[in-house]
Structures are given as C-alpha cells and as structure tokens.
C-alpha cells in the first residue's frame, strides 16, 4: 500500500485487513515510512481552519480535570501527584515543583508508544530498542510540537442510553455496543468528516468523582469500568469514519473487563488498545471532562465545536495531560 496524502481517500478497514505488505488491519506506511503520529496526520491546516469557523457564541469548555482530581489514581500503577510550593527571596518569589507526577493519572492523551502489539510490535514498525526514556521515537512530543486542532463531535452515549430505557450502569463494566454508538449518532443527526475528534460522553468521570473515597476505592479494586465493547466491527467503525483522535470520559475508552466475545485474545486481557494504537495509529483520550460540554450540546442541539489540545513536549513521553479546550 503506497503512502497517501491526507487529502486523498483513505482505505477502508476491510482493505487494511486484506493487506499483505504490512500487518493485516494496520495503517503502517499510510502516512509515510517514517511516520510518528498516526491518525493525528488527519488534523491538517484546512481541518483546523474549518474547525475555527465553528466558533459562534464564544463559549469555551475545559476538557481536563484538575491534575490531582483522581486521587487515588484509577490505575494502581500510578501515584497521586504531590504539589509543593517553594517560597524564596524574602517571601516575594514563589515557584512550584511536583513529586510523583504521572501524566496519565488524570485527563490525558495516550501517545503511540503507550501500547505495542504482542505480535507486530510498535506502530509503523518502530524498533522496540528505540523506544525508551528520553529517546524521541513515538514520543508524545511528536504531537505536542504541532498540537491537535480540529472539529470535535460529541456523541452523547449517556443521554441516548437513558432515552431508550437502558441507562448506563456507571458502577459496572457496562459495555457500549456499536448499535448504541450508532443509535446515539442517528438520534443526534450527526455526520462525520475526515479528521474529526470523536468525544464519547458517558458521564463516568463525573460520577466517579462524586463518589465517596471509600466507594471510589471499591470501584478501583473491582476494576469494572464502562466503555466500548471490543469487536472487529467497532474497530472498523472507528477507522472507516477516519477520526483523528478518539477520546472519552471513561478509564480506557473501551469496557473493562473486556467482553467474553472479544476477538483480541492475543492482546492484553483482550483489549483493543494494541490494535487501535499500534496497528491503526490512534491516539486515545481518556478521562476527559465532557459533562459541561455535553449539557451545553443537549441544550442547543449543536454537537460540533472547535477542539484544541496541546500535549506536553516531553521527549520520549508515553502520554500527557490533554490540556484540551472546546469552543462553540
């Protein structure tokens, strides 16, 4: 499959699955043999300019929670940051420093070194020996230097499921099927454009932060989090709509634990993450703050907006706080 310009038609997921020149189901080489940013390539200058035209009333919505909002962090492998203030020069000058800062402990974006595929390795065949602390390959600085600006489209799974009498259970691993997603899209009268930033609203993050510390700890221990159901059809839908970024207000975008029918048994616990990140080149946004935006969209029935995200330019970073804002 030859290198395509982002303005050209992209292959379907079925065409990617039929590849013999690269791993089946991969977008490797599509944006160039040396590509490091995957589907973020779809956020072209024209996409950004079109997104700017969506700003009509000037309302802005921060899409990230406070850095230490998730305390303790949902992942047991991460720690809550400790913010220290340093006062010097006779009390007139103040500085900050932060201990135990895990960039993916709160609202964040996962870069392309976050997951490698168990069979095929890292995205675009980047050698795993080049992926390490301080090395540039697949580092989050690749997207941090350019930023991510495009048309955000909010799909309100929460309100749709409520409207059809099946409200999401935010305390369990409630799977969101492709039929749920398509139903929400249809009910909102949405259509997509190449390069859209998909925002999936479930209400999970706001719900979790409203719980008592004890209830939060119990939910973390159970590790039952709602999200997209794992299936080849879900992957095909995400790719065929040619989103640049897939973001949600859930822990992992996809449901945990994975559904029993997950076809991804070669992956970690049957997750789609390795296929989404390492094969297709998607950067994933997790635990974004979407409730205020969702309420505004429900009120004015406008589900599109300009979204700008500026990840940290941390060389070799795996992920970053999303530092994202939506403007309508």
Mean pLDDT of 266-287: 93
Total structural domains within the chain: 1
Query: Percent of the chain scored above 90 by pLDDT?
Result: 81
Q: What does pTM read for this prediction?
A: 0.94
Q: Does 286 fall in a domain?
A: yes
Q: Which of 50-54, 126-130, 159-163, 190-194 has the lowest mean pLDDT?
A: 126-130
Could you tell me which of 123, 76, 43 has the C-alpha nearest to residue 220?
Answer: 76
Q: Does 143 fall in a domain?
A: yes
Confidence of residue 269 (pLDDT cuts 50, 70, 90): confident
Neighbours of 11 (CB within 10 A): 17
Q: Which of 50-54, 158-162, 217-221 has the lowest mean pLDDT?
A: 217-221
Q: Does 57 fall in a domain?
A: yes
Query: Percent of the chain scored above 70 by pLDDT?
Result: 96
Q: Does 75 fall in a domain?
A: no
pLDDT score recorded for residue 2: 52
Question: Is 8 a residue whose pLDDT tops 80?
Answer: no
Question: Is 237 a residue whose pLDDT tops 80?
Answer: yes
pLDDT score recorded for residue 36: 95
pLDDT score recorded for residue 89: 60
Q: Does 229 fall in a domain?
A: yes
CATH number (domain holding residue 309): 3.50.30.50
Q: Does 176 fall in a domain?
A: yes
Q: Does 3 fall in a domain?
A: no
Question: Is 260 a residue whose pLDDT tops 60?
Answer: yes
Residue-wise pLDDT tens digits, 68-119 = 999 888 887 777 787 777 766 677 777 777 778 888 889 999 999 999 999 9
Question: Is 266 a residue whose pLDDT tops 60?
Answer: yes
Question: Is 218 a residue whose pLDDT tops 60?
Answer: yes
Cβ burial, residue 304 (10 Å; 0-12/13-18/19+): buried
Q: Structure tokens of 198?
A: 């998909």
Report the alpha-carbon distance of residue 98 to residue 84 in Å, rounded. 6
Segments forming the whole domain that contains residue 144: 13-65+107-327
């Amino acid at each position: 499959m030859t290198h395509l310009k982002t303005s050209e038609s992209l292959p379907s997921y079925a065409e990617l699955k039929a590849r013999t020149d690269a791993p089946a189901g991969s977008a490797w080489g599509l944006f160039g043999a040396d590509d490091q940013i995957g589907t973020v390539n779809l956020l072209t200058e024209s996409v950004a300019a079109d997104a700017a035209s969506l700003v009509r009333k000037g309302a802005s919505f921060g899409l990230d929670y406070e850095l230490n909002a998730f305390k303790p962090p949902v992942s047991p492998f991460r720690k809550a940051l400790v913010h220290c203030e340093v006062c010097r020069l006779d009390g007139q000058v103040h500085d900050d420093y932060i201990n135990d800062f895990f960039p993916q402990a709160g609202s964040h974006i996962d870069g392309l070194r976050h997951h490698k595929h168990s069979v095929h390795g890292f995205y675009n065949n980047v050698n795993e020996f080049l992926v390490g602390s301080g090395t540039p390959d697949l580092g989050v600085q690749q997207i941090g230097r350019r930023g991510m600006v495009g048309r955000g489209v909010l799909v309100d799974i929460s309100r749709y499921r409520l409207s059809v009498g099946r409200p999401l259970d935010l305390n369990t691993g409630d799977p969101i099927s492709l039929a749920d997603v398509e139903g929400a899209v249809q009910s909102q009268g949405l259509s997509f454009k190449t390069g859209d930033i998909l925002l999936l609203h479930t209400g999970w993050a706001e719900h979790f932060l409203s719980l008592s510390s004890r209830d939060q700890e119990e939910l973390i221990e159970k590790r039952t989090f709602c999200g997209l159901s794992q299936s080849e059809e879900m992957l095909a839908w995400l790719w065929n709509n040619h989103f640049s970024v897939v973001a949600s207000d859930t822990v992992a975008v996809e449901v945990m634990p994975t559904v029993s029918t997950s076809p991804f048994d070669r992956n970690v616990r049957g997750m789609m993450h390795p296929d989404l990140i390492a094969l297709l080149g998607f950067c994933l946004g997790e635990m974004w703050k979407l409730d205020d935006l969702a309420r505004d969209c429900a009120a004015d029935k406008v589900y599109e907006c300009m979204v700008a995200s500026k990840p940290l330019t941390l060389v070799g970073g795996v992920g970053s706080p999303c530092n994202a804002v939506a403007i309508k």
